[in-house]
């Protein structure tokens, strides 16, 4: 539904257009082509000292297997203001997935394959997205445009059909928590009981079981893209980005302090008590090195210049522009390793920050010619 202000709504003269929208949809995801089938795989077996052809059970199958089903409701509005110089888009979405395809681990007493795909999961995913773009200054020889993007997302595992949590190295899919949240034994407390300025093993407490540390992906985002245009030829633009609401495991510091015993917390008595305690707790509680990974990044700055046509009379060139771009210019974060956005992930493992360098600063110059 769309409303346009032709001047009749005097009390809303600043509003040019308001468009309300809503949608609902259902989709599915098919299981793999052989997930529902019981099948065998050929092998070579040794019988009486000789190799003989044989078969082994490769897939247990599941005759009741059906597609994963997702339904999503979305609503929002688009609005234009001040003669369409400013526009706002707001979207709310709510997605629910049922009969989720889950790799269920089977008891070894079955004497068959270790797992099979089953329809046992229910997952919800909700969020809000807001976008603003507008020309805030519009003069004959100068203009200022600004684009702002904001989002917030939350996902949760609602049901696992009575199955125990699905776990891996440093992560769990547990009912009531985000998918692939980070779970590690964590340092629960520490104190310099004897007041000697040095944390000792007896002064550190670590949880016996893994504890939830936080989401492994950002749950809140914010970005600013300003653009300044001068004399309709010279343009400056940039991108400032914010990611928040997630954690990362600082495995770089853990590796230096725990396995190799080569960090300040181990060798310098003046190191902070917290860092000393983490170095002790890290032996059994890697979660001591879980850190808030929220950050600001200045991802890009650029300058472009459209060369006047009077300089392009030769060679059949009709237009030309020169552009200078710099990327990965700045990072602001309380994360103590190189870059909280960098993550290592192996098979069946949670994300962690380890031995990967931050993206390099890149400068590029480009000329574009039109004929």
Is 37 among the domain residues? no
User: Which candidate, 326, 357, 329, places its Cα nearest to that of 341?
Assistant: 357
Q: Specify the pLDDT at position 52.
A: 87
Is 230 among the domain residues? yes
Residues 300-325 have pLDDT tens digits of 999 999 999 888 767 678 889 999 99
**pLDDT at residue 206 is higher than 80:** yes
Q: Specify the pLDDT at position 39.
A: 81
Tokens for 61, please give them.
């199958």
The span from the CA of 35 to the CA of 84, in Å, is 53
**pLDDT at residue 6 is higher than 60:** no
Tokens for 79, please give them.
């609005």
Q: Are 103 and 11 within one domain?
A: yes
Q: Are 225 and 364 within one domain?
A: yes
Q: Are 335 and 186 within one domain?
A: yes
As for how many domains the chain has, the answer is 2
Q: Are 221 and 347 within one domain?
A: yes
Residues 110-144 have pLDDT tens digits of 666 677 888 988 999 999 999 999 999 999 999 99
Is 50 among the domain residues? no
Domain edge (last residue) among 105, 131, 157 = 131
User: Which candidate, 296, 297, 300, 252, places its Cα nearest to that of 278?
Assistant: 252
- Of 41-55, 67-81, 133-147, 233-247, give the lowest mean pLDDT range: 41-55
Q: What is the total residue count of the chain?
A: 371
Is 148 among the domain residues? no
In Å, the largest CA–CA distance within the chain is: 96
Mean local confidence (pLDDT), 221-239: 97
φ, ψ of residue 295 to 5 degrees: the values are -155, 160
Q: Are 249 and 294 within one domain?
A: yes
- Residues with Cβ within 8 Å of residue 271, at least 6 apart in sequence: 264, 265
Q: Are 104 and 21 within one domain?
A: yes
Please name the helix (run of DSSP H) or strand (run of DSSP E) that holds residue 281, with its range, or none: helix 273-281
Q: Are 225 and 345 within one domain?
A: yes
- Tell me which residue has tokens 């989401």: 215
Which band of pLDDT confidence, cut at 50, 70 and 90, is reported for residue 346? low
Is 122 among the domain residues? yes
Q: Specify the pLDDT at position 112.
A: 65
Q: Are 259 and 317 within one domain?
A: yes
Mean local confidence (pLDDT), 33-42: 86
- Residues with Cβ within 8 Å of residue 315, at least 6 apart in sequence: none
Three-state helix/strand/coil letters over 96-158: EEEEEEEEEECCHHHCCCCEEEEEEEEEEEEEEEEEEEEEEEECCCEEEEEEEEEEEEEEEEE
The span from the CA of 358 to the CA of 337, in Å, is 10
Q: What is the mean pLDDT of the chain?
A: 91
Q: Are 126 and 174 within one domain?
A: no
- Residues with Cβ within 8 Å of residue 314, at least 6 apart in sequence: none
Is 293 among the domain residues? yes
Which band of pLDDT confidence, cut at 50, 70 and 90, is reported for residue 24? very high
**pLDDT at residue 326 is higher than 70:** yes
Q: Are 5 and 91 within one domain?
A: yes
Mean local confidence (pLDDT), 76-97: 94
Is 51 among the domain residues? no
b/e per residue 333-367 (b: at least 16 CB within 10 A): bebebebbbbbeeeeeebbbbbeeeeeeeeeeeee
Residues 41-60 have pLDDT tens digits of 898 888 888 888 988 877 88
User: What DSSP character marks residue 34?
Assistant: T
Domain of residue 75 covers 1-31+67-131
**pLDDT at residue 2 is higher than 60:** no
Q: Are 261 and 351 within one domain?
A: yes
The span from the CA of 90 to the CA of 80, in Å, is 12
Judged on CB neighbours under 10 Å (0-12, 13-18, 19+), 146 is middle
Domain edge (last residue) among 85, 108, 131 = 131
The span from the CA of 282 to the CA of 348, in Å, is 21
- Of 151-155, 296-300, 308-312, give the lowest mean pLDDT range: 308-312
Residues 90-103 have pLDDT tens digits of 999 999 999 988 88
Mean local confidence (pLDDT), 191-210: 95
CA 104 to chain centre: 26
The span from the CA of 299 to the CA of 328, in Å, is 5
Domain edge (last residue) among 106, 131, 156 = 131
Tokens for 8, please give them.
């009749």
The pTM assigned to this predicted structure is 0.85
Q: Are 239 and 292 within one domain?
A: yes
User: Which candidate, 329, 355, 358, 360, places its Cα nearest to that of 341?
Assistant: 358
Is 146 among the domain residues? no
């Amino acid at each position: 539904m769309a409303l346009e202000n032709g001047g009749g709504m005097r009390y809303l003269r600043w509003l040019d257009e308001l468009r309300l929208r809503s949608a609902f949809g259902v989709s599915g995801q098919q299981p793999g082509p052989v997930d529902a089938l019981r099948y065998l795989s050929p092998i070579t077996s040794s019988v009486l000292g000789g190799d003989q052809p044989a078969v082994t059970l490769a897939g247990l199958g599941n005759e009741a297997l059906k597609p994963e089903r997702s339904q999503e409701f979305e609503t929002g509005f688009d609005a234009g203001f001040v003669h369409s110089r400013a526009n706002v888009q707001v979207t709310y979405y709510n997605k629910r997935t049922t009969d989720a395809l889950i790799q269920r681990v089977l008891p070894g007493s079955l004497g068959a394959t270790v797992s099979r795909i089953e329809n046992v999961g229910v997952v919800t995913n909700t969020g809000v997205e807001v976008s603003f773009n507008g020309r805030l200054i519009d003069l004959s020889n100068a203009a200022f445009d600004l684009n702002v993007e904001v989002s917030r997302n939350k996902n949760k595992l609602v049901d696992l059909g009575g199955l125990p949590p699905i776990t891996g190295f440093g992560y769990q899919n547990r009912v009531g928590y985000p998918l692939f949240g980070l779970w590690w034994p964590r340092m629960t407390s520490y104190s310099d009981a004897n007041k000697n300025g040095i944390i000792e093993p007896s002064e550190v407490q670590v949880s016996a079981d893994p504890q939830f540390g936080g989401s492994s992906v950002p749950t809140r985002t914010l970005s600013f893209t300003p653009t300044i245009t001068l004399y309709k030829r010279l343009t400056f633009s940039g991108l400032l980005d914010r990611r928040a609401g997630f954690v990362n495991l600082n495995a770089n510091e853990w590796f230096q302090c725990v396995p190799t015993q080569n960090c300040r917390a181990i060798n310098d008595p003046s190191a902070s008590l917290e860092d000393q305690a983490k170095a002790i707790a890290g032996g059994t509680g890697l979660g001591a090195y879980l850190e808030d990974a929220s950050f600001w990044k200045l991802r890009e700055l650029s300058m472009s210049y459209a060369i006047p046509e009077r300089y392009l009379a030769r060679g059949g060139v009709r237009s030309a522009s020169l552009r200078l771009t710099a990327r990965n210019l700045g990072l602001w974060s309380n994360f103590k390793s190189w870059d909280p956005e960098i993550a290592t992930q192996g098979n069946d493992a949670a994300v962690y920050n380890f031995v990967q360098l931050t993206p390099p600063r890149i400068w590029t110059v480009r000329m574009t010619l039109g004929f």
